[in-house]
Amino acid sequence: MRPRGRGELDSLYFEYPRFAAPHRHSNAALERVPVAIVGAGPVGLVAALTLARSGVRSVVFEKKTTFNDGSRAICIARQSYHILDRLGVAEPFIRKSLGWTTGRSFYRGRLILEFEMPHGKDEKFFPMYNLQQQYIERFLWEAASARPEIEFRWASEAQDLRDIDNGVALRVADPGGAYEILADYVLAADGARSALREMRGLRLNGENLEGRYVIADLRMKHDYPTIRRALFDPPCNPGGTVLIHRQPDDIWRVDYQLKPGEDEQEALKENNVRAKVASILSDIAHDGEWELEWWSVYSANTLALDDYRSGRIFFIGDSAHIVPIFGVRGLNNGIADGENIGWKLARVIKGQAGPGLLDSYTPERRGATLDVFAKASKSARFMTPPSYGLKLMRDAALSLALSAPFAGAFANPRQMTPYDYRDSPLTERDDPSFEGGPAPGSVPPGVRLDDGTYLCDLLGEGFTVLHFGAPPSGIESFTRKMRDLDPVFRLVVIGAEGEDSGAIRFAGDPKGECAARFAATPGALYLIRPDMYVAGRWRDDLAGPAAALARILDRKEAA
């Protein structure tokens, strides 16, 4: 919502583009496309870009003619920046967004906890960045519209669908009328109110947690670093919680909790929002001018589909799951969905992988959602305690934190640990002789190399094997065999010298820091997936990664 006199898209700082509906010939022949993506939100665009990176075409249908209104999801996590980086689109994000590492929690106006998210010289990206969702969508759209593999159809609403042989027929309506288009696969990136979900008769299951928040953006010159502030029981919102985030363009986000039973419609009236914002600002001692930009309401739900797949339709992003905002995982999880289905689908469509690869999408990404649910329910129980006893404990912990610092740890949102795929069907059993290092299913640690680049920069577009120490004889035929399975396979040799080629890269490791982080001795091998998860690790066994890759790609004949 916006202040009286301003339209839904009249932003103080952002120009919304207007996209034209497609020009179509009414008598055009029936089209068939490899992938139809419904929804041009951030998740649909990440999926389109991931497919395009492998040369797979998609058509994106979006019923609106511009980006989503309002700043919505503003916290992008490190893992998402790695995804944007792999897609080659991170640059404008890095330039515009505000990276941050620190959070502060206050109780009744006094600091009880300052926490630092894990960060260090080996990390290419900050743990978190703040950026308004319109910018996220704009930067993704700019990258996507430059790709010949991606076609946008704005003002185009998916209205119906039916299964056909080896595909889906989608009915789309635009200002010129309605038509049918055939797709081998459909990605339902159509958001929390997913129409495709309805069309398939599927339901989100889960819980509605306690707690509704009004989120409001204001523009002001306010001199405070990019640090997330959480105010518990502040004078401006007694008994409730307030969150404050800095965004680019002098925009500040305040989230404030409504009381149980408080009337939402009433709370959302402009005058009431203004009054609340004014009292929050007085709590944080801001006495300068401010302008109201946009506001909305958000409730804490943990809802997900039981299966993210229905035939040849895959649900990605909010269409598949809705999570509470204070876990900052709604959008971040959706971005990971988009990359996950993108690299798998591209390989199946190009005939490089069997259909079995797609079976791992639901367990991996629904697993990630359930993990967020567990963490979010925990922080929800702290932010908005659901019972008398938990409320009393919460207040006790906060009050105690003022004089006994250990109790401040209860107020730490601990939102950063990435989910791991250790239970995924794609993940190999671990070699127990490794003492430490990233286990199969986890995300490898960041490593800054001697020349100032990062280990992740050396990974290829597809699967990568890291080999520690001088390569053994047979490495050429190994690399050829891997390239037969994955044409963009890359071998990265760490701690040995040699000549770089398309398939092989060498990285020095004079101090052995990289080897140490991987608990690797000479001969150690790590198989890394296109989305940078460790698929498996071995010692002195080139047959290990070769068999694993064939299995992952569902290519039994090659094993």
Ligand X SMILES: Cc1cc2nc3c(=O)[nH]c(=O)nc-3n(C[C@H](O)[C@H](O)[C@H](O)COP(=O)(O)OP(=O)(O)OC[C@H]3O[C@@H](n4cnc5c(N)ncnc54)[C@H](O)[C@@H]3O)c2cc1C
Rounded distance between C-alpha atoms, residue 346 and residue 183, angstroms: 14
If the CB atoms of residues 63 and 104 are measured against ligand X, the closer one turns out to be 63
| 91 in Cβ contact with 69 (< 8 Å) | no
Specify whether the CB–CB gap between 153 and 176 falls below 8 A.
no
Give the residue, chosen from 368, 397, 507, 552, that forms a contact with another protein under the rule CB under 8 A: 397
Residue 494 near residue 514 (C-beta atoms within 8 A): yes
Q: Are strands 58-61 and 150-153 parallel, antiparallel or unpaired?
A: parallel
Residues 65-84 that bind another protein (CB under 8 A): none
The Cβ-side half-sphere exposure at 259, using a 13 Å CA radius, reads 9
Stretch that binds another protein, among 70-78, 237-245, 385-393, 437-445 (CB under 8 A): 385-393
Count how many Cα atoms sit within 13 Å of the Cα of residue 113 in the half-sphere of its side chain: 27
Of 404 and 558, the one with the shorter C-beta distance to another protein is 404
CB of 150 to ligand X, least distance (A): 15
DSSP 32: E
Q: Please give the structure tokens belonging to residue 132.
A: 């308004």
392 or 558, CB closer to another protein?
A: 392
Residue 339, Cβ neighbours under 10 Å: how many?
27
Cβ-based neighbours of 370, under 8 Å, separated by 6 or more: 304
Task: Choose, by CB under 8 A, the member of 169, 283, 410, 541 that binds another protein.
Answer: 410
CB 372 within 8 A of CB 323: yes
439 binds, among ligand X, another protein, none (CB under 5 to 8 A by kind): none
Residue 329 CB partners (closer than 8 Å, separation 6+): 77, 323, 372, 375, 376, 415
Question: Nearer Cβ to another protein, position 96 or 394?
Answer: 394
Rank residues 109 and 508 by Cβ distance to another protein and give the closer one: 109
Q: Which of 387, 417 has the CB closer to another protein?
A: 387
Tell me how crowded residue 440 is: count the other CB atoms within 10 A of its CB: 23
CA dist., res. 33 & res. 429, Å (int): 38
Query: Binding to another protein by residue 210, rule CB under 8 A?
Result: no
The least CB distance from residue 403 to another protein, in Å, is 5
Q: Which is nearer to ligand X, 204 or 549 (CB)?
A: 204
CA 491 to chain centroid, in Å, comes to: 27
Q: Which stretch binds another protein (CB under 8 A): 134-142, 389-397, 418-426, 497-505?
A: 389-397
- Least Cβ distance, residue 48 to ligand X (angstroms): 11
Is 388 near another protein (CB under 8 A)?
yes
Find out whether 272 and 264 touch, Cβ atoms under 8 Å: no
Closest CA to 256 of 105, 383, 382, 401: 383
Q: What does the alpha-carbon distance between residue 44 and residue 260 come to, in Å, rounded to a whole number?
A: 35
Give me the least distance between CB of 113 and another protein, in Å please: 13
Closest CA relative to residue 209, chosen from 322, 319, 315:
322
State yes or no: residue 392 binds another protein (CB under 8 A): yes
Q: How many residues bind another protein (CB under 8 A)?
A: 17
156 or 464: whose CB is closer to ligand X? Answer: 156
Instruction: Give the nearest distance from C-beta 70 to ligand X in angstroms.
Output: 6
Q: How far apart are CA 434 and CA 541, in angstroms?
A: 14
Asked if 108 and 48 count as a contact pair (C-beta separation under 8 A), the reply is: no
Window 79-118: contact mask with another protein (x via CB under 8 A): -----------------------------x----------
Question: Residue 61 Cβ, how far from ligand X at the closest point, in Å?
Answer: 5
Residue reference for tokens 């990285």: 507
Is 383 in a helix, a strand, or coil? helix
Query: Footprint of ligand X on this chain (CB under 6 A)?
Result: 38-44, 61-64, 68, 70, 72-74, 133, 157-158, 189-192, 195, 215, 296, 298, 317-318, 325, 328, 330-331, 334
The interface partner of residue 404, options being another protein, ligand X, none and the CB cut-off 5 to 8 Å by kind, is another protein
The site partner of 325 among another protein, ligand X, none (C-beta below 5 to 8 Å per kind) is: ligand X
User: Of 111, 146, 374, 409, which one interacts with another protein (CB under 8 A)?
Assistant: 409
Q: Is 107 helix (H, G, I), strand (E, B) or coil?
A: strand
393 binds, options another protein, ligand X, none, Cβ within 5 to 8 A by partner type: another protein
Does residue number 374 form part of the binding site for another protein (CB under 8 A)?
no
* Interacting residue with another protein among 146, 275, 404, 470 (CB under 8 A): 404
Helix, coil or strand: residue 341: helix
- Count of residues making up the chain: 559
Per CB under 8 A, 402 contacts another protein: yes
- Tokens 């001692």 sit on residue: 285
> What number of other Cβ atoms are within 10 A of residue 298's Cβ?
16
Which does residue 195 bind out of ligand X, another protein, none, counting CB within 5 to 8 angstroms by kind? ligand X
Q: Smallest distance from the beta carbon of 181 to ligand X, in angstroms? A: 12
Instruction: Compute the least distance from the CB of residue 558 to ligand X, in Å.
Output: 35
318 binds, among another protein, ligand X, none (CB under 5 to 8 A by kind): ligand X
Which of 170, 198, 173 is CA-nearest to residue 184? 170
Is the CB of 356 or the CB of 386 nearer to another protein?
Answer: 386
* CB nearer to ligand X: pick between 195 and 458: 195
Nearer to another protein, 238 or 406 (CB): 406
What's the rounded Cα separation, in Å, for the pair 455 and 444?
Answer: 10
| Contact with another protein (CB under 8 A) among 400, 488, 516, 547 | 400
- Chain residues in the site for another protein (CB under 8 A): 108, 385, 387-390, 392-393, 397, 399-400, 402-404, 406, 409-410
